[in-house]
Amino acid sequence: MTLTRNLLISALMAALTINSPLLLAETDSNEELADEFDESLEDFYGDEDFISIATGTKKAIHMAPSVATVITAEQISIMGANSIYDVLETVTGIHISPSNLDRMKPNFSIRGIHTAENPQTLLLVNGKSTTYEYNGSRWQKFDIGLNLIERIEVIRGPGSAIYGADAFSGVINIITKGVNSISGTDFGVKIGSFNTKSSWLNYVNSNETLKYSFNAQWIKTEGDLDRVIQTDAMHYMGLGELSNAPGALDTRLESIDLHTQLSYKGFYASAWYLKSRGGTGAGAAQALSSSDIETTEAITLASGYKWNISPAVEMDFSLHYQTYDDDTYFVIFPPGMALPRQFNDQGIPTAFTVFTDGVIGQPIAHEKYYGTNLVSHFSAFEHHKIRMEAGYRYSESKPEEFKNFGPSILDGSEEFKDGTLTNVRGTPYIYMLDQDRELYFLTLQDEWRLAADWEMTAGLRYDHYSDFGGTINPRLALVWQTQHNLTTKLLYGHAFRAPSFQELYAINNPVVLGNENLEPEKIQTTELAFDYRLNFDLKFMVNLYYYQSEDLITFVANSDGTSVAQNAGNQDGYGAEFETHWQALESLHLKASYAWQHSENIDSNEDIADAPGQTFSVNVDWDLTENTKLHIDSRWITNRKRLASDSREAIEDYNWTNISASYKISNNWSTQLTIRNVFNTSAFEPSDGQIKGDYPLETRGYWLNINYIL
């Protein structure tokens, strides 16, 4: 590893010296020269996507000071995806896999960085955080109506200099259709395998001074009942006779997603309502249950005002308010489960309580967040665009819990216990006491055009948490228009993640326990990226990266079956990402990508488990006729390692292929047929070992949708 790492560092540092006189020499280039240079690039970059997530300001993607991806509504529609996770799986360097702890919640593995709760990726919707303070990750059961999305912006790498905590390994911003979209109305329906049903409506009026929009989507699926596991945690504990396995993973889901926006001159306001209800996959403790049900509900309200103080000064003041509720009914262990109730002096159980209806818990989370932001843009200084932001955010968690086990419910004399639940809110025996947190932050960023072909972005953010203290996170990016068709980027970023409420304060939990002595996670990343356009129809993108992360938090299993939050060690990683786009014909577009990464725990010298060492994908978009489009995407997931202590067989590689065909019936009507997992591949994502055979992925499925545009 040392030799490879040193070679990579040498390559990164070499970029500092390439053509260094251009960087150091004085230049009398002015805006006229810059404009002339920009005009000379229109043949290569004129139709390129723009991105705002990298700097908080609109930027052509090849000049963005980050490794960025934009996915448009048209691209989402053509691929026929069923969820936001299907879409994000197509981004180079991102792999989606189910959590092996948190109810199989889809997790983002970016460059080998992931943990069971996966709080290292910040997910935004219209710029607003979806972070659940209890576990530090996005809201449980998070999904969003794909037909409501205008675009998705993704940056791989740290983003704390702009976004603060949780922008650790990447940032994803989902932008829904609204007052900045093209006016129009469309609606549609979708049906398909696994008893899937969906319907949606988009209405946007953006033509007048008063602009408004309304968007809604409903989705329901029973999940694939062929995703059968043969063993679960009960077999792992030697209690297979109590297990519900063999049985199907419970992946049913129903959600309603509503958005509305309004703007008048400089004033704007928005409201978002998201409610989801579904199963818990393999169960809370990896013991299969068909009785579990989780319901989540979130409301986001935001408003603000933008105004121009002068031609060189713009201001944006905003307020936001969010609520989030999560109510989960768990049969943690099945009926007949016996738990120790008395112990001898050596700690050996001498008596047990049998739970005739199972060990049942119903944790309920009530969270609310509110805050304010003031963003200022200054362009009064020649060649500089300065962005400043100051903000405040308050977070509050008030847990509630019903259960049939634990102190205050059992007195130690019960030989049997039924399913009657007791509310332990207001007692020391709840899964977490009430918590709150205040955050104040300040950011400063300068986009400095050093010369016609050089731009430097420097940023700094200070965060102060009431329960954590202060932290400073810098970023620095040099973007060099090396040639008219080649852009070179050298990027450095520092990011952090504060421990979540669960990681710090979880108590009386049969699965996970907190640890108030945790340190925050930290990461430093250096990247060297190239964007090369060979001609008008062919482009290549290459990115090399190296990172050092410290004190990553994960839950470490105890012998009693619980897991305690720990700073499990330090992780280093390095790798390369390649992507090419080829417009082979006017009607045929090809995309191929390859990502290779090596990440390891530097304390144990073990490779990071479960993260794919290599991924490769091919996408084909082919206009067969004027009205018929064909999309094919295929990906290979390879080289996933087990923990050294895991004696199971190696995780099998797999190939996954999807096909979607769209047909425009008329100017108003269109239809689409999608087949996912075309070859019915038997593919698996890794479990934590209590489910011996890992998690099976969906079998082949078919979906049909019909869309009408007014």
List, for residues 57-95, the tens digit of each pLDDT value: 888 888 899 999 999 999 999 999 999 999 999 999 999
Say if residues 600 and 609 touch (Cβ distance below 8 Å): no
What is the residue whose two structure tokens read 């079998």? 699
Average pLDDT, integer, range 630-643: 96
Taking the C-alpha atoms of residue 42 and residue 48, their distance in angstroms, rounded to an integer, is 9
Query: Distance between CA atoms of 378 and 385, rounded to whole angstroms?
Result: 6
Per-residue pLDDT for 177 more than 90? Answer: yes
The residue with greater pLDDT, 525 or 21, is 525
Mean pLDDT over each residue of the chain, to the nearest integer: 90
- Residue 48 has a pLDDT of 67
For 437-460, what is the mean pLDDT? 95
**Domains of the chain, with CATH numbers?**
2-709 (2.40.170.20)
Instruction: Note the pLDDT tens digit of each residue in 550-572.
Output: 988 887 877 666 788 888 778 99
Of 34-38, 431-435, 547-551, 596-600, which range is least confident?
A: 34-38
Burial of 35 (0-12, 13-18, 19+ CB in 10 A): exposed
CA–CA separation, 215 and 146 (whole Å): 11
Residue 47: band (very low, low, confident or very high) from pLDDT cuts 50, 70, 90? low
Residue with tokens 């000071």: 65
The confidence score (pLDDT) of residue 51 equals 83
CA angle in degrees (0–180, nearest 5) for 173-384-319:
40
pTM equals 0.91
Mean pLDDT of 414-419: 95
pLDDT digits (tens, 9 = 90+) for 106-147: 999 999 998 888 899 999 999 999 999 998 999 999 989 999
**C-alpha distances out from residue 328 to 220, 362, 510, 668, Å:** 18, 5, 15, 43
* CB-count exposure of residue 546 (10 Å: 0-12, 13-18, 19+): buried
Residue 43 has pLDDT above 80, yes or no: no
Residue 37: pLDDT band with limits 50, 70, 90: very low
3-state SS record for 69-89: EEEEHHHHHHHCCCCHHHHHC
Range with the lowest mean pLDDT among 352-366, 402-416, 583-597? 402-416
Nearest of 155, 102, 54, 3 to residue 447 by alpha carbon? 54
- The predicted-structure confidence for 338-393, as pLDDT tens digits, reads as follows 999 888 888 788 899 999 999 999 999 999 999 999 999 999 999 999 999 999 99
Using the predicted structure, report yes or no on whether residue 625 has a pLDDT greater than 60: yes
CA proximity to 175, closest of 66, 87, 63: 87
Phi, psi of 262 (to 5 degrees): -145, 140
- What is the pLDDT, as a whole number, of residue 192? 98
Residue 32 has pLDDT above 70, yes or no: no
3-state SS class at 575: strand
CA separation for the pair 641, 58 (Å, rounded): 40
Residue 12 in this model has a pLDDT that exceeds 50: no
> What's the mean pLDDT in 463-476?
91
Give mean pLDDT, residues 253-260: 98
d(CA 250, CA 58): 42
Return d(Cα 101, Cα 555) in angstroms, integer.
9
Q: Residue 703 contacts by C-beta under 8 Å, 6 or more apart in sequence?
A: 80, 82, 190, 191, 192, 193, 196, 673, 674, 676
